[in-house]
Structure 1
């Protein structure tokens, strides 16, 4: 869409330096004025949206019922998510109060799929540990033993755009791929074996999560489902943190039922991620416990963080805002 939209101030929450750089390329026509706000949106920061009929938010901004009500009272008419997931938004209340909600349904799925595979390869071949050893002049290989991915079974939970991209990568490594999805992707039926969740959990050497967070799959990976997994399984999550019960995950690691964990997301990440906390004492005891395991690799929700993905996110988000202003809504992007 290339609509001509009237001048509009947009309250841009959870803004980072890279957001300013990327979005500036797509708002040069000056029809949109982005008011960059470093704070994330919650009940305390809602007043910062005063004067903006459109706000732009990210994955850890909080748009619960109370926040949405406050936004409506301020005159906000459009919430533009610059991400695919919308589990942090009370959509029903938005609709009741006449607030439109848009998101970015597809943006460089390969970026996140590639990051998931990077976590697998790093955990398996311990390249992060090898790097530090060699920097210190230690060339001993003891403790760096990995396994060959070829012919291993990878279970993929969720086979949308990102899941499909990840399946293609796994197939390239010569892996057997099992898949679970309530709505199987016809494009993948020839290259994966769709099965039920219990069978996937019990057969997979590696399990990778690529599904959106919903009420039905909250804590999908829990104590009961972990018990179904192979001993020493590798678990990868680049989707949403609350798909995994972190307490159950720690127990699985302690019992050695789970052999490796790669996380780009964490269920309480909203209080941690996207900030420099290197000079702080982190108060999240569960996160601190998780990070002590030698076989756990955590990245700070950077799976989406490629130049291509950022460009696509910015372009689609700006198009959604301009489309709303011009009353030319893209049905694929509006919820």
Structure 2
């Protein structure tokens, strides 16, 4: 079978080829899938896409017209896919539901530690032979109250790590997980989580209901100086509202691995270009903001799992079988 891989990076190609059988003919394209690039998939049996590719109804219609009825997501989230249109068109959409939740959880806690202990600032200072500790005063995670919004695989993995630090855990999720309750976590209302948490970490999917979950109204309920971490989806946060909260010191620390308009920025080297996104540029001016470029998932173990599951999904489709990962 022929598979066109959109938004492909060299590491994607290496990992997919490493675990691929000989009967998959790969076509790797760096551009993202959208209405302009979809024609490049002509002659393929399936397309393989990532978080910022466009799987809207119009693009899915074009895929079906090209005779392509399989979409393999190299990720767990599917907010970029019009599932209703896919079902009507008979396009099968398959995802990777779990690829090392520990990778994202460890990155999440790493961002908390970096912000709380100012590792990034200390690193830059010592490279300049500046060993002054003024301005580097941090705080302990021990006995801090951490609010986890979303307790799926990644939320649970994050909770396990934070319990090791001696944190108190408050959780919000439509489905309460007994394992977390055994760890001593409490499920509470969103309002209580906002009011009681020293640190808030987002681990929920992006849906119409959760879009801009963090906004002016919810920020107003939070403690002054709260730490906010987002390693889930950028549109969970109203960025302009967060900037105002940074200016007023309502948010004391902000860690982002995702950004609402990241499709035009992340996974690219823009170091020699002027970035026109003024909102993103404003975020970079704050000394208490740490941003990574959708890196939380990016470990050897996760890449292996993504590749193996993606190939399993594609081979199952070619055999007219269900992989178990269909949406």
The answer to whether 1:135 aligns with 2:135 is no
> 2:234 aligned with 1:241, yes or no?
yes
Using structure 2 for the length normalisation, give the TM-score.
Answer: 0.99
Deviation of residue 186 (structure 1)? 2.3
Q: Which of 58, 62, 67 is the equivalent residue of 1:66?
A: 58
Instruction: Give the alignment partner of residue 206 of structure 1, picking from 184, 195, 199.
Output: 199
1:279 aligned residue: 272
Inter-partner Cα distance in structure 1 for 2:251 and 2:269:
30
| Residue equivalent to 1:4 | none
CA distance, structure 2, for counterparts of residue 225 and residue 106 of structure 1: 29
Paired residues for 1:248-327 under 5 Å = 248-327=241-320
- Following superposition, the deviation at residue 330 of structure 1 comes to 2.2
Which residue matches 1:154?
A: 146
Which residue does the alignment assign to 1:38? 30
SS in 1 for 2:182: coil
RMSD over equivalenced CA pairs, Å: 0.7
- In the alignment, is residue 79 of structure 1 matched against residue 71 of structure 2? yes
* Partner of residue 81, structure 2: 89
- Aligned equivalent of 1:165, options 154, 157, 169: 157
What is the distance in 1 between the residues matched to 2:283 and 2:299?
Answer: 27
* Structure 1 residues without counterparts, runs of 5 or longer: 1-7
Instruction: Say which SS state the counterpart of residue 11 (structure 1) adopts.
Output: strand
The TM-score with structure 1 as length reference comes to 0.96
Give 4+ residue runs of structure 1 displaced > 4 Å after superposition: none
* In structure 2, distance between residues paired with 1:168 and 1:99: 38
Aligned to 2:186: 193
2:121 aligned with 1:109? no
